[in-house]
Structure 1
Amino acid sequence: MVRGELESRPSEARTRLLTTASGIFYAEGIHSVGVDRILAEAQVTRATFYRHFPGKEDLVLAYLSAADQAIRGQVVAAVAGGLPPADVLRAVAESIAAGIRSQGFRGCAFLNAVAEYSDPGHPVHQAVLAHRQWFLDTVAELLARVREESAEPAARHFVMLRDGAMASGCLFDPDLVCETFLRGVEGLVKTHAQSDPA
């Protein structure tokens, strides 16, 4: 490994801080968790924390950035499979369903975060909006490859189906929620492919 690669890799302490904070933020909420709790569980000193994150808000933004990158990675993997656009959308929906069925699922990390940061000008709120705009644009682009007309409204419909499934998935039977969600996505994709221009 060359020196540049070593320097570009995050330190073990930063990784431990972010992993610990991400687990706690997702499971318990952001405002309810103090820096002292994160330091104790990550076994990192306060000086080390501030060397990597100027404050808690920076750690929250790193948490959301990591969640954003994970979701982008799932979409990139679905696109890289070389499937037709409709099947890529189905694969994205399946990855969402897999998340809902996973142990410890507590809804959408971004919707959970924005519920705690309601000020539209706050950097956390802005990070949530940026992620959601990327997701909406990505779904719209895939739907436009299926059929260009009405791709934007269909994409908004897909995102609303996803949001409903994410909210319901931590309240009701995840398997039933996922079955309903996937059936809804299938109907949306087929209707969009076959509908006449408005």
Structure 2
Amino acid sequence: MSEARARLLASASRLFYTEGLHSVGIDRVIADAGVTRATLYRHFPSKDDLLVAYLTEADRMIRAEVAAARTSSANRSPADAVRAVAATIADGIRAPGFRGCAFLNAAAEYPDPTHPVHQAVLAHRQWFLETVTELLAETGETAPEPAAQHFVMLRDGAMAAGCLTDPAPICATFLRGVEGILSYRDAPVAAGARRRK
């Protein structure tokens, strides 16, 4: 990646995340990155291309965090890998400057499912759901996809609430919810009821 492209992407990512995708214009990104308009358009032919690149970079960072969490729990139980991913999410919510989920924010601004920005959001969420499904399957969960959907819903709620109020109790509730998902498979009555559904 060239230095100019890296500067543009860093400026765009910070501005889009903190101020919104529609509200930040190309001129603002150019000024913040300290490049010319021609340089921006050489790397990103349109604002949509820049927006997709921003989301692609956010996706890459989250994938790296999940991979690191899985690696850190490699010598522990599969359930610990799920806990490690959940802890990474909670750490992000508690981090200074947290403004919610970049992907949910983008979907709210670009609701058209055919738009490239919305498509980037859907691709990220599909990967995340598949990854959590795989992690939960490794724990012995007999219905890993519904359990993963539950995890994703808990994550979405925690991210939405975590930027509106004190994130500490939100994260504690999220982590308890994840423990509930992990313990649900060990409850014979609940598991039996789920299998009958």
TM-score by length of 1: 0.92
Report deviation, 1:84: 2.0
The match for 2:62 among 66, 71, 76 is 71
Which of 20, 26, 29 lines up with 2:11 in the alignment?
A: 20
Q: 1:49 corresponds to which residue?
A: 40
Pairing 1:153–2:146 present:
yes
The structure 1 segments of at least 4 consecutive aligned residues displaced by more than 2 Å after TM superposition are 192-197
Hey, what's the Cα distance between the residues in 2 that align with 1:120 and 1:114? 9
Letter in 2 for 1:37: R
Q: How many residues align?
A: 189
Q: Percent identity?
A: 65
Are the equivalent residues in 1 in contact too, given 2:69–2:88 (CA < 8 A)? no
Deviations 1:62-103 (Å, cap 9, x if unpaired)? 100010011100111122231322101101111101110111
Letter in 2 for 1:156: Q
2:111 to 104, 110, 118: 118
Q: CA RMSD in A?
A: 1.1
Q: Offset of 1:148 from its aligned partner?
A: 4.1
What residue in structure 1 maps to residue 161 of structure 2? 168
Distance 2:181 2:142 in 1: 14
Within the candidate set 42, 50, 61, 1:59 is matched to 50
Q: Secondary structure at the match of 1:15?
A: helix
Q: Is the 8 A contact 2:100 2:159 kept in 1?
A: yes
Q: Is the 8 A contact 1:141 1:151 kept in 2?
A: yes
Inter-partner Cα distance in structure 1 for 2:167 and 2:176: 14
TM-score (norm 2): 0.93
Deviations 1:129-148 (A, max 9, x none): 01001000100111111124
In 2, the alpha carbon distance for the partners of 1:194 and 1:164 equals 25
| Matched residue SS, 1:171 | coil
- Unmatched 5+ residue regions in structure 2? none
Aligned-pair CA distance for 1:192: 2.7
2:171 maps to 178
